[in-house]
Structure 1
Amino acid sequence: MNIIIGNAWPYANGPLHLGRIAVWLPGDILARYHRMMGDNVVFVSGTDCHGTPVTNRAEEEGITPLKAVEKYHNEFQECFKSLGFSFDIFEKTHSEYHQEKVKEFILDLYKKGYIYEEVAEGSKHLFFALSKFENDIRHIFDNQDGWRENAQKILKRYLDEGLRDRAVTRDFDWGVDVPLAGYEDKKIYVWIEAVMGYLTASMKCLSERNEDWREYWSGDDSRVYFVHGKDNIPFHTVIFPAILCGIGIKEPNLRMISSEHLKLEGKPFSAVKNWALWADYITKNYNVDSFRYYIMLNSPENKDTDFSWREYINVNNTDLVSTLSNYVQKVIRFSRKNYGPKIPNGKIEENLKNEILDLYFSVGDDIEEGNFNNALNNIMDFCRKANKDFQENLLWEMAEKNPSYCKNKTYNNIQIVANIANLLEPFMPNICENIRNGLNINEPIWSFVEKKAGILKEVDSELKKIDKRRAIDEVLRLKEKRN
């Protein structure tokens, strides 16, 4: 299957905080999962460089808009890299490639009559005939699959009210030039050129692979995910699908992963009020994978959720350290102590294999449908059960009395560890890579694996318990920064 995953593009007008990261993280999970499935994936995003928010920020900092773009684009790239985002391409809308392709699309839409000229407020402007695509958008909506409820409700409201044409050009000096004579003093509105970034970035990426970009957007075996926040739903459900229809992509297989809001200690994130948890602070002071886990466990999928320092620390200590890390290390240490560095001989229990296979199917379905917290809960329930069974089997005491039984049980637990590393890979890639290294497994795959031979090594999961008093310190730090 050909997969496009488009994460919303952040404006080049300030650093990134956790409230925005929580909305975008599902894109990386989808990309990693589909790669493990063997699908052809293009995971795209980039910096939104034009428009008033960027020029205002540049003015505040006493620099040019171009300098602001360069500053924040580089900062975004470093931020996403440190958070483990696996973009195939992270572009910017001020790139020469993007601007030239946008002009080509604008001309194409103009020649087809979907962009027209009109005098407004004494000045000639271009307008996008959004109203002409109402039936197309309704058809996409009627045939949608895997859209979150908030996206469905907002699109339905737009359709009920009737789609209205929108201005394409504006009197501005920062943005993409208009490719028509008589518009030299104007720029293309950011609302239309920025969303075209999904097209231009994927086109650039696929041209380097010598692949047909249209096959990814409209092929019989293609799917497109849009990952964004509630505020951006109209652009992804109304405007961009209309643009796709206008350039000849009439029936794209779209899925909307549109999140609600994540709050911070009960209050909305606010950069202005300095009530925020910045991405660079997280990466410098905490285990990134533990944050990825907690954010998705607490993902604002269907309603607003709250980031609580106390809850984060509790989840890290119980789920990740006491359960996951403890179980993995106990299994490998027990095997190495009693059977040496090599994986002991054994046979997989049929009921265990079936349980793991069922887990791959159910978790995979949840990921594709955007039910990430349900997927994580099911994986962790399986891990808790395995940890409990390992304890109750009393293998440490029975190793000498019943070596055959213990050896086979150990073999089965090693298989559980190997498959847990696969199942959690999209969510916590660094930790899972460490687990796979302990089992000498090179690459993750979304399929049941049975590790029959190889050398076992000690696993340092890098997961450590956090002092619960740290929560008080972090909340105090937030309040001090706000004041």
Structure 2
Amino acid sequence: MKNKPKNILVCVAWPYVNGPPHLGHIAGMSIPADIFARYNRLIGNNVAMVSGSDMHGTPVTLLANDLGVTPEEISKKYHDIWSKSLKEMNFQYDLYTHTHTENHMKIVKDIFQILLEKKLLEIREQLMPFSVTENIFLSDRLVEGECPNGDNDKARGDQCDVCGRTLDPTDLGNIRSKRDGSIPEFRKTSHFFLRLSKLENEIRDWLQSKKDWRQNVKNQSLSFINEGLKDRAITRDLSWGVDIPVDGWEEKKIYVWFEAVLGYLSATVELFKNTKNPEMWKEFWEDENSESYYFQGKDNIPFHAIILPAILLGVENKNLPTEVVANEYLNFSGKEFSKSRNWAVWLPDFLEKYSADSLRYYLTSIMPETSDSDFTWEGYVSSNNNELVANLGNFIHRILTMSHKNFDGKIPKFESESESTKEIIERCNNAIKEVGTSISKRRFREALNNLMALSKFGNQFLDKNEPWKKMKENKNEAGEILGQSIIIINAISCILEPFLPESSQKLQKILFGETINEWELILPKPGTPFEKPMPLFEKLDEEVVLEENRNSLDE
């Protein structure tokens, strides 16, 4: 008997839409989230996978100013590009929205009001950097300087990317404007502060209760707590963003780090808004048996392991994250991805030339789960040719081609009760279980390795029994081997779906005439016709790939 379905909320980090997506954006967030969501759907859970474009970030405003257009125009342009690329990667979002919807802005303002009523927000004066040359207050991301830890002289006014610490502009040494290099003055301005210090003990207790979190996430979060949480301003002197729902504050906006983390809630509400059950969002946010997983880069740890829980504790009756699944960084040929230096592999460009599944495979195999990893074009080609084509694709294509050609396009007869068949069935069922366990524990590289181990087992079984030699001597014996091998292929077609959905669907249509969407082994029926197979994966020429992408290796 199957367990009662769970409600699983899969939350994927919201990107700034000041440019197209590059591979670093999706490697640690979208890919693991999609694998996890697809697996949970296959085992019968109710899944809501949500995200969207962060339209109110300072990078959006900066780009709009440089191009002489409005922030709304530039964010809409890149939101559409992001949406298209994510669909082409076959990421199965239930909703990919953005932060400039009426729904999102209303929910943010409602939560602001609740926190204000509960005295978790208060007005304070604050010193903020002011550009004398431009006559404007500079937001946190418009200034940089030395981190107080002394390990980075280009820390932003909101965070140091080296140590991960959240900062205020006043924390920086030798502060300067990123716009023109000038040294700003610090002037007084009034803002609303979120009183994190009042929630410190509750957040600490909650974090300490998390036994299964990745150690880097838990340790970093607790280190921030143990230093003492500082109250943080959640408004800024900006003209683009969510309005502050208080009279007299029309010239300022709610700051992006506060409103963006509420996008998961507003997106879930939006997802069910026009359905038969618009209150269904509460099943994911207020049912204590529901689970929520937040897929992020490591730079987002404090915002999702401290800031968001603080807001939710203040609002009350909202589930805190089951886990913040934060990955390290994906680099490109030994250096960090960089929009400003154009050191990147842009996802739209990649998908014009190569398959989504080949990229999903490679990025999963090098996923930066516990340390930074590196994308190289040589590694991508090797992954495609030596693993997808030579291991997985070769095994599947050899078996299905030989069976189709020699057995009238039908699955060969095999003895389902023989010891060898039972051993293969057990091996396949174990593989399905192992892959599922690894995914459920958010160990995606381990899960992929377990999948490829089954393919390797299939190749070894085939090479040991050599059905091509037996075909002339004893066709029935050859058919037995091929039929048993198709059991392995059926298992692969099942566990392939979360990782390479397009390839899984192609394979299932060959085998079953349709996609089956089941997380279990379906035994092949001897004599059942199946489609003439075509190779699932194409070999790449490394010289051609390197030549095609030589420009991406020039800064």
TM > 0.5:
yes
Alpha-carbon separation, structure 2, partners of 1:326 and 1:249: 53
Q: Secondary structure at the match of 1:77?
A: helix
Counterpart check, 1:314 vs 2:382: yes
Quote the offset at 1:341 in angstroms: 2.1
Q: What residue ranges of structure 2 are gaps of 5+ in the alignment?
A: 1-5, 128-187
Partner of 1:20: 25
Q: Which structure: greater helix fraction?
A: 1
Letter in structure 1 aligned against 2:37:
A
Partner of 2:521: 448
Q: 1:145 to 1:224 in 2, by over 3 A?
A: farther
Partner of 1:71: 77
- The residue correspondences of 1:404-415 to structure 2 (distance < 5 A) are 404-415=476-487
Q: Secondary structure at the match of 1:212?
A: helix
Quote the offset at 1:442 in angstroms: 2.1
Partner of 2:455: 383
Alpha-carbon separation, structure 2, partners of 1:63 and 1:77: 21
Checking the alignment, whether the CA contact within 8 Å between 2:309 and 2:321 is kept in structure 1 is: no
Alpha-carbon separation, structure 1, partners of 2:211 and 2:50: 21
Q: What residue ranges of structure 1 are gaps of 5+ in the alignment?
A: none
Partner of 2:154: none
Q: Secondary structure at the match of 2:542?
A: coil
- The residue correspondences of 1:222-371 to structure 2 (distance < 5 A) are 222-249=290-317, 252-348=320-416, 349-371=421-443
Partner of 1:212: 280
Quote the offset at 1:123 in angstroms: 4.2
Quote the offset at 1:400 in angstroms: 4.3
Partner of 2:267: 201
Alpha-carbon separation, structure 2, partners of 1:419 and 1:363: 11
Partner of 2:225: 159
Partner of 2:35: 29
Counterpart check, 1:177 vs 2:243: yes
Quote the offset at 1:158 in angstroms: 0.8
Letter in structure 2 aligned against 1:97:
N
Checking the alignment, whether the CA contact within 8 Å between 2:203 and 2:306 is kept in structure 1 is: yes
Partner of 1:42: 48
| Identity between Structure 1 and Structure 2 (%) | 37
Question: What whole-Å deviation, never above 9, does each CA across 1:258-313 have from its counterpart, x for those lacking one?
Answer: 11111111121111111111001110111111111011101111011111211211
Checking the alignment, whether the CA contact within 8 Å between 2:497 and 2:504 is kept in structure 1 is: yes
Compare 175-184 and 204-213 and name the one that shifted more: 204-213
Compare 89-98 and 459-468 and name the one that shifted more: 459-468
Checking the alignment, whether the CA contact within 8 Å between 1:146 and 1:256 is kept in structure 2 is: no
Compare 339-348 and 36-45 and name the one that shifted more: 339-348
**Larger radius of gyration, structure 1 or 2?**
2
Partner of 2:544: 470
Compare 175-184 and 231-240 and name the one that shifted more: 175-184
Partner of 1:103: 109
Structural RMSD (CA):
1.8
Q: 1:117 to 1:41 in 2, by over 3 A?
A: same
Checking the alignment, whether the CA contact within 8 Å between 1:45 and 1:198 is kept in structure 2 is: yes
Alpha-carbon separation, structure 2, partners of 1:123 and 1:411: 75
Partner of 1:143: 209
Question: What whole-Å deviation, never above 9, does each CA across 1:407-437 have from its counterpart, x for those lacking one?
Answer: 3322221121111011111111111111111
Alpha-carbon separation, structure 2, partners of 1:224 and 1:394: 48
Partner of 2:446: 374
Alpha-carbon separation, structure 2, partners of 1:253 and 1:425: 26
Alpha-carbon separation, structure 2, partners of 1:38 and 1:247: 31
Letter in structure 1 aligned against 2:543:
R
Alpha-carbon separation, structure 2, partners of 1:27 and 1:136: 28
Partner of 1:399: 471
Alpha-carbon separation, structure 1, partners of 2:67 and 2:529: 56
Letter in structure 2 aligned against 1:455:
P
Alpha-carbon separation, structure 2, partners of 1:358 and 1:301: 24
Q: Secondary structure at the match of 1:46?
A: strand
Task: Give the TM-score of the pair, scaled to structure 2.
Answer: 0.83
Alpha-carbon separation, structure 2, partners of 1:311 and 1:361: 29
Q: Secondary structure at the match of 1:138?
A: helix
Alpha-carbon separation, structure 2, partners of 1:168 and 1:477: 41
Checking the alignment, whether the CA contact within 8 Å between 2:401 and 2:533 is kept in structure 1 is: no
Counterpart check, 1:89 vs 2:95: yes
Alpha-carbon separation, structure 2, partners of 1:272 and 1:407: 59
**Of 498, 510, 516, which aligns to 1:438?**
510
Q: 1:417 to 1:208 in 2, by over 3 A?
A: farther
Letter in structure 2 aligned against 1:240:
L
Alpha-carbon separation, structure 2, partners of 1:479 and 1:310: 12
Checking the alignment, whether the CA contact within 8 Å between 2:17 and 2:78 is kept in structure 1 is: yes
Alpha-carbon separation, structure 1, partners of 2:479 and 2:336: 53
Partner of 1:426: 498
Question: What whole-Å deviation, never above 9, does each CA across 1:95-123 have from its counterpart, x for those lacking one?
Answer: 11111111111111211222223344554
Checking the alignment, whether the CA contact within 8 Å between 2:32 and 2:295 is kept in structure 1 is: yes
Letter in structure 2 aligned against 1:273:
R
Partner of 2:12: 7
Quote the offset at 1:245 in angstroms: 1.3
